[in-house]
Each structure stands twice: as C-alpha cells, then as structure tokens.
Structure 1
Amino acid sequence: MAWQQQLWLRQVENLAAQAQSRVVVLAALQWARSVLAQDARSSSVDHLGEGWAQALSPLPVEGGELSGGLSDQQGLFNLNSLVREGKASAADLAAFRKLLELLQLPPGLASAVADWIDPDAEATYPGGAEDMDYLALDPPYRAANRALTTVDGLYRIKGFDAARVARLRAFVTALPQATPVNVNTAPAEVLAAAIADLSLDQARALVASRKARHFTDLADFRARLPQPAAQVNETLLSVGSRYFLVTGHARFGRAKAGCQALLEREATAWPKLVWQKNI
C-alpha cells in the first residue's frame, strides 16, 4: 500500500511539473512575439546583430529553468518559393539546384519538389515526379499538389531519404508563401545559391564582412558584391524578414517540455502564430 501511495505522489508531482513546464514554454512564445514586435518598430532591416537573434541563455525560474531563442526563417531557402502563382519558378528552381549541388546532392531533386507542390500533372525535367511515380509505390499515394507545411514533407517526395533531408535541413524551410532570402541572415550556401555567379568562397567572405557591418539595403549589398557576381535577381533577395521560428525549452524537476512555433510578423503588427508543435 505504501509503495502505491509513493507512486501516486510521484505521478502527481510529475504532472504538476509538466504543467508548469508547458506554461513557461508558452510564456517564452509570448516573449518572442514581444521582442519581434518591438524590433519591427525600430527598423525594417533584420540582421544577426539585433536582440531577437541572441539566444536566451538558461534562465532560472522558480523550481526550474527556461531556455530558447529565435531564428530567421527567411535566411533559409523557402521550398515553397519553387512554385509561384501555380507555376514552377525558373529562378527559384535554378537557385535550389545550385544549393543542392553545393551540398553535393542531386540537382534533379529540385524538380521533384516543384512537382510535389505545383497543381499540374506534368513531370518537370529532369528529375520530376507526379502521380504515376507515386502510385507505383507500395503503399501507393498521390503527389500533394500543394505547398509543404514543414521540411519533414520532403520524406514523401521522390529521391529523398533521411540522409538527404538531414543534409538539407540547416539550409531550407517551408513557409506559407513565396519569400525572398534575407542577405543579412542567410548562411553562405544559401547566399551562393541565390546569386548565379557567386561562388561559395565569395559568399563566405560576404558573411564574414556583414558581421562587422550588416547590409542596410539591397543597393548596399550589390555594392559589396565581388565584380564577377553581377547577376542579381532582386526579387529573390531582401534585407528584412517576416517569418521567424521560436524554440523554447523548460525544465521543472524531472519534467521537461519544449515547443517550436512559426511566427509571421507584418510590419509593426503583433506577430501571428502560423503553427506550433511540441518537441
């Protein structure tokens, strides 16, 4: 009887700690929204020297601790930009193929992703896949013909496996609409992919230079490009961002909780929650 009471008390303690953890994680989400709203009021330019980009060190709270941070999702290549207004975007396809090549992955994977998203039933050459390819699998299924909601959606697309998704994950995202790449926050690989004539070494030099001085606008960015990299499609680039990922972790005793949420910030409005999940 005594051991049953002890077990019951332990379960009650764990449930209480889990509830506390979830509350603190939700508080972290509200903190992130407040930080982003305040940042928008001060500037339309987003860069890694700003307060929102600094990780939240483990913060002691009564009975536990909280940690987390924000990351700019427009510093990554948005897979859903491959299809704009219902049609494959040649410029975005070229950028994604270059990114795949830089990561030593087959460039034909870009066509497979575009076909998964676009509404038509015609496979894109080379490497595309439509319903006929997926219906031949066991079990069979059809191409989604709609935007990806998360990067994990790649697992269902022809040519992708766990290793390839893992290789891509640090460089791609899936946002609700087509978006430009923020040149102030993009890693060198994404910058090099977005500019046809820019080499990876040149992109790394740009990333190093922006640590001392961020790009104030696209004119400033163009002026600091190496001369050979003259072809810049400004529809693919920006110096500001709209979508941010917030990650929060909380610990109380033996209980832990974590969440991720995608926030959309429009001008100075309070950031909207796009999706949220426990991690």
Structure 2
Amino acid sequence: MPPHVFALDDAALTFAAFGRGETGLELRELHAEPLDAGAWVAAPPGRAPATANAFAERVAALLERASAPVRQASLVLPDDWLRAVFVEHGELPRQADERDEVLRFKLRRLVPFRPEELRLELLPARALAGQQEPRRSLVGFANELALARFEEGFARHGVELGQIVSAGTAMSTALLARQPAGDLLLLATANGSFLLSGWSGGEPIVYRQKALAPEWDEATRREVLVRELRLTQAFVEERLPQVRLPDPVLVVPAAEEALWREIVDAGLRRDPAPAAHRALLATGLAPGADWRQLAPLVGAASAEVR
C-alpha cells in the first residue's frame, strides 16, 4: 500500500498518495478540499475544527476522490500549530503521565500557553556547555483538543493517523535520512512564519520558529532574519563549541530564494547546501508545480516507507 499523507492549514485540507518510482518517491494522487475561516476555532498554539462533524465531512470528501481505500496515513500540520521548545531536566519518570506532569511544570515558565491543554512529545537533545540540569530535550507540543478532533475526524472514516507531525519536522526527518553524520540546518518559510531546525549527530541542537509580520517590508524582514541567524551562530559557538553548523538547506518560495541567499550569507557567512533538498523531491508533479509546496508531504511519506 502506498503511503498516504494529509496536510492541513487555514485554507485547505490536502491529500497525497505516493508510491515508489525508479528514482524515489512518486506522486500518484494529489487532491485538496478548501476550508473557510468559519471552519476553525482558536486552540493555542494552533487551530481546532469548529465542529468534529464538519471536519469529518471534509475528510470524507477527500477520501471519495482517492482511487483506493485509505486505512493509515500521516497528518502534517503547520509549524506554528505544532511547536517545540528545548527543556533542561533531570531524570524523568518512566510513566508517560508522570513524565508529562514534570514537563508541563517546566513549560509554564517557557511558553505562553496553558500546559495542561497540550499534548507533548519528547526527543532527547544535545546537552549545552554549562547547562543547569543534567539533560536536555526538545519538547514538541500541540493543543490536545485540536489533535483529538483531527483524529476523530479521520477515525470516523476508518483512517488511523500513524503520525501527526509538523511540516518542519517532516522535512528534517527526510533530510536527516540522507545525512550519514546526522548533521542538518534547515531554513524554511511557510504560512507567514520562519523555521530554523538544526541537528548534530542526529540530535536536535537548535530550533527557532518566528512569525513574519505581513507589514514588514523586504529590508525589515532581511534585518530581522539576519539577526536571528547571527544569534543562532553565536549561541552554537558559545554553548555547543564542539559543533560546526553545516551549510543550510533552503525550503523557501522560489521568488524569495535570491533574498534568502543574501540573508544566509550575511547571517551565517555560508552558502546554501547545493542539491541537498533532493530528499524532498518526488516525481510525478504536474508541469509547473513547485516542489517546495509538496516538500512537507514528501518528508512525511519518506518516514512511512523507510
């Protein structure tokens, strides 16, 4: 069975089916159902379906367009709906509910959301020089109500969500699979936000997600992003002195690629890694289609077929 991937944002629910081609993943189907503003309610840090019934209807409409039954799938969410933050901690309880209670206590001081309303995922991270606690982890979090409604909407039609993942994490996972040393620096923009995801030896080292204000002109945006990259470089040099950031992988709109090359040069004194985005490519795209728009779905599909 080919991997099936759904993706959500404010405007649409998208479905893609992939298979294995001669050179890698091949896009077999791509469908989308539009969603209007009334489809959502606030569920910080993201959105939740206003009603489970309405969302389930949109899922059903997509499934009717699929050429084969869908029983298992991945769901990709925008990076600002499923976020992550580094947490320093000691030995954590083995029981998941007890572990999450410890992490929620720490999150109260780190995020502007109610930790008791969040579902958490934990990924061990590289320790920092001089950190106060013995361990460090990247804690991913999303609104529990939102995730439950997504899962219910698919379950009503017999679809099990094997993974719910952010766009940045999906792309990072696919790119890391092509990096034997496990080193990666991903710079991506989508839905009005910027993501920087850094890895060393297969462990997360930096994760920065920032909204890009729509009223910023090009000069302001360039200034803000160059500063972000310089701060990241300084942080790594000071707190992770044994790590050298690799050349970054850019996943940005084609019209902005030249600007981003200038930003990377000014902020990191690096050139983007040539052809490193190949892990996010699939054959079978329609003529004129932009691979960048499909990259998170390709990333999620890559995780399913490994």
Higher strand share: 2
- TM-score, normalising length: structure 2: 0.24
Higher helix share: 1
Larger RCO (CA under 8 A, 6+ residues apart): 1
